[in-house]
Amino acid sequence: MQRKVQVCETLPGLWTALAAVWRECAQTAVHTRGYFTAALSGGRTPAAFYRVLAQEQGLPWHLTHLFLADERLVPPDSPESNARLIRSTLLDGLAQPPAGIHFVKTGFLEAAAAAKAYEQELLQAMGSLSAADPRLDLVLLGIGEDGHTASLFPGTDALAEQGRPVAGVPAAPGRRARVTLTLPFINAARRVIFLVAGSGKRAILATVLAGGRELPASRVATPGVTVEFFVDREAFPGS
Ligand code: 6PG
């Protein structure tokens, strides 16, 4: 597994660079398979990127299916909702809606039940596109300061899940119950991109890039796939 880092001097430069890669991924997928599937993360970092992406012209949204890398079990209108973030920063800005928007149903009391429901939706959607190949074209991830990615937190059963594509993450002190794509499903994707910005992420990014395998973000690794890091100068350890 290779890691490739693209350092951008400014945040606008970072969004532009990532939008170009999104376009490349989407066009390649549509040309090859007739559709494009991507899983998006929440959090603060990608919000500005989603706003830029919404303004990009000529993207094949009518052939694009969006999924969530993870979601918190909160109401859809909660400020903590990743679906709300993506709706307000990306979807509301699009001239035409994507072919598929697959958000997590969060009205469940238990994370395991929500995960099972999302897994069924994910596999049904991917199966309807290609019965033979349920791999995402792109997964866009962030990194938390503890090295988590999606909702794969250190020491959790979800991180250890090796069979199913989706796992539930029970609530913990200071952390909502969540649903997350699992490592095997993320690692099966054709392209995995981390978006990391800000000086607060410099230390954890250095550890992840050094390959500290005990961290969830370090375990995003696919044989034969180069995991890409799009970072600003602030977050880059070599700055
Ligand atoms: C979430 C994200 C999570 C995020 C990291 C980084 O639901 O919060 O999926 O994995 O990517 O926590 O978040 P920031 O971009 O806000 O630093």
Q: Where are the beta strands (DSSP E) in 111-190?
A: 138-141, 166-169, 178-181
pLDDT at 160: 96
Q: Count the Cβ atoms, other than its own, within 10 Å of residue 50.
A: 20
59 CA to centre of ligand 1 in angstroms: 25
pLDDT at 1: 74
The reply to whether ligand 1 has any atom less than 6 angstroms from the CB of 149 is yes
The reply to whether ligand 1 has any atom less than 6 angstroms from the CB of 168 is no
Averaged pLDDT, 225-238: 95
Alpha helical stretches, state H, 36-151: 45-55, 82-89, 111-129
Return the SS3 of 12: helix
Average pLDDT of the chain is: 96
pLDDT at 213: 65
Rg (CA), the chain: 17
The reply to whether ligand 1 has any atom less than 6 angstroms from the CB of 70 is yes
Residue nearest to atom 10 of ligand 1 (CA): 150
154 CA to centre of ligand 1 in angstroms: 14
pLDDT digits over 75-95, tens only? Answer: 999 999 999 999 999 999 999
pLDDT digits over 162-220, tens only? Answer: 999 999 999 999 999 999 999 999 999 999 999 999 999 999 999 999 987 689 999 99
pLDDT digits over 110-161, tens only? Answer: 999 999 999 999 999 999 998 778 899 999 999 999 999 999 999 999 999 9
pLDDT digits over 42-80, tens only? Answer: 999 999 999 999 999 999 999 999 999 999 999 999 999
Return the SS3 of 3: strand
Specify the DSSP element, H or E, that contains 199.
Answer: none
215 CA to centre of ligand 1 in angstroms: 15
What is the DSSP annotation of 210-235?
Answer: TT-TTSGGGG--BTTBEEEEEEETTT
Averaged pLDDT, 22-27: 98
155 CA to centre of ligand 1 in angstroms: 17
Q: Which residues are bridge partners to 225 per DSSP?
A: 222
Residue nearest to atom 2 of ligand 1 (CA): 42
The model carries a pTM of 0.97
The reply to whether ligand 1 has any atom less than 6 angstroms from the CB of 150 is yes
Q: Which atom of ligand 1 is nearest to the CA of 44?
A: 16
Q: Which atom of ligand 1 is nearest to the CA of 180?
A: 9
190 CA to centre of ligand 1 in angstroms: 21
- State yes or no: pLDDT of 35 exceeds 80: yes
31 CA to centre of ligand 1 in angstroms: 31
**DSSP code, position 203:** H
